[in-house]
Amino acid sequence: MFARLDPARRAAALTSLDDTEFDVLVIGGGVVGAGAALDAASRGLQVALVEAHDWAAGTSSRSSKLIHGGLRYLEQRDFKLVREALKERGLLLRRLAPHLVRPVPFLFPLNSAWERAYVGAGVLLYDSIGGAGALPMHRHLSRRKALEVAPALRPDALTGAVRYFDAQMDDARFATAIVRTAAQHGATVLSRVKATALVRTDGVVTGARVQDVLSGQTHEVRARRVIGATGVWTGELSQDVPFRVRMSKGVHLLVPRERIELGTGLITRTEKSVLFVIPWGSYWIIGTTDTPWEDDPAGPTVTSEDIEYLLQHVNAVLRDPLTLDDIVGSYAGLRPLLDGASGETAKLSREHAVAEPEPGYFVIAGGKYTTYRVMAADVVDAAAHGLGQAVAPSLTDRLPICGAVGYQELWADRAGIAARAGLPVSTVEHLLNRYGSATTDLLAMIEHDRALAAPIEAAGEYLAAEVVYAVTHEGALDLDDVLCRRTRIAIEHPCRGIAALDQVADLISGPLGWTPAARDAAVKAYRAAALEELAAQHSPAVA
């Protein structure tokens, strides 16, 4: 029923690269590249998607985990972007991914009657252009009511508040689900395959040379059109891209849920942008920064200055300030923004652009996670033009993502499912909110091997079945893929989840065909990288 991305399928896909001429080759497996592969494949085109690392390994796994219109962009009068993003939010909530995208409330503290009028007008407009009924409308709260909802706030930090709704998701899982959906529609999808150069014939791009990172083997992929959806690496394959991408670093911290007594998410102003406190399972995500990054795009780091900045701003409104010891995890990502006149990345537009820098080669950059589907449709529209055949228009606005169909029915029967599977209802709810109707795959695995129903000892919110499923169905090829993206153990547990490392390695060694020596080498490499990253940010978790 659901496409399997496993080592055997990967081997067959690698073989097909040499003897197939694709209509479209997509380079880049973030959310936009995955979306482009799905868009093209669902139009009936023959599609290949290659990603140098893992699905969503870059920007698309390091966001604020929000599907939102960008309330602050109203202040910049970017009404078109906000309207477009809110339309996409509604589609995802209602039709495309109700199993992965869900409502989340936010409290906006106010400090004056003027601010109440100003913010209230903005949130009213936000609700209005978002479409009536998509989410509950905002409400104005007195200081007393706001403190009932958010007891963690200092009474002198607000005179009242506005409560409104947006939506959130697990960004890495969302992107992987899109990849699986593309594969289900016939796309050839390959991670750990790096595009090293474009292939040109008589001045026209006709494919790309790629290298399997795992084996070192090279392939020449023939394609009638090539799409580059590589984000901060946009200019790497062609020097003729007509726009410049600027990198903006965003840092987020995770602290335990019990550490901040809030019944809602929180958004506050900073001198440059806004600060979010976002509910995330048993944790709060606190972010974000928005600072220029000029170094290697592969290595954005969390620094002590980033941590100090975030703690300073969140502590300005908390009764009980957070300390370094409260931080469980952190992560940094880079936004690929279109360059503009402003010197501050926080003020750069979140619009996107499509270009054809060379005949046959199309690139897309900029945009927001929320508008990935529109971006994908735009670049496929451009690439499909002139293919010499009637190409159907995009239909992804009505194409559910892997796990969406049947989710509501399974959710309604979750108590019955739990009873039949011999699992707690909370466990079934956890699976449904991560896999949707693909939960049936995991339940079948558990029925076959009850040991897979056991939680990971050092990360009890995840089951052993989820770790194995990451390899057998979701294309995970390494410990990093499992700990950082298929699960979020690496950011939700101290020391990048090192305590769970050995058990996870044991679970995936068999499906990946690792020898004992390969298993030990993978563990050693992950541990060394994790400790190096922690040392770089002077994290107290290193000790």
541 near 534, Cβ under 8 Å?
Answer: yes
Could you write out the DSSP letters of every residue in 196-260? Answer: EEEEEETTEEEEEEEEETTT--EEEEEEEEEEE--GGGTTSS-TT-SS-EEEEEEEEEEEEGGGS
Cis omega (within 30 of 0) for bond into 270: no
DSSP class of 537: T
Name the helix (H) or strand (E) containing 430.
helix 425-435
At residue 129, the pLDDT reads 87
Neighbours of 521 (CB within 10 A): 12
Tokens 């995955």 correspond to 34
**CA distances for 41 relative to 148, 301, 375, 395, angstroms:** 50, 36, 15, 10
Instruction: Report mean pLDDT in 10-residue bins for the chain, 543 residues.
Output: 92 95 98 98 97 97 94 82 93 97 97 92 90 84 97 96 97 98 98 98 97 97 98 93 92 97 95 90 95 90 94 97 96 89 52 94 94 97 86 96 98 98 98 98 98 97 98 98 98 95 98 98 96 72 36
Instruction: Work out the angle at residue 270's Cα, subtended by the Cα atoms of residues 268 and 273, and round it to the nearest 5 degrees.
Output: 95
pLDDT at 200: 97
Q: Which domains does the chain have, with CATH numbers?
A: 7-59+172-244+349-398 (3.50.50.60), 101-167+247-338 (3.30.9.10), 407-542 (1.10.8.870)
Nearest CA to 57 among 187, 184, 175? 175
pLDDT at position 387: 87
Q: What is the pLDDT of residue 543?
A: 31
Taking every pair of Cα atoms in the chain, the longest distance, rounded to a whole number of angstroms, is: 72
Instruction: Assess contact for 50 and 20: CB atoms under 8 A.
Output: no
338, 243 contact by CB (below 8 A): yes
pTM score of the predicted model: 0.95
Q: Which pLDDT value is given to residue 343?
A: 47
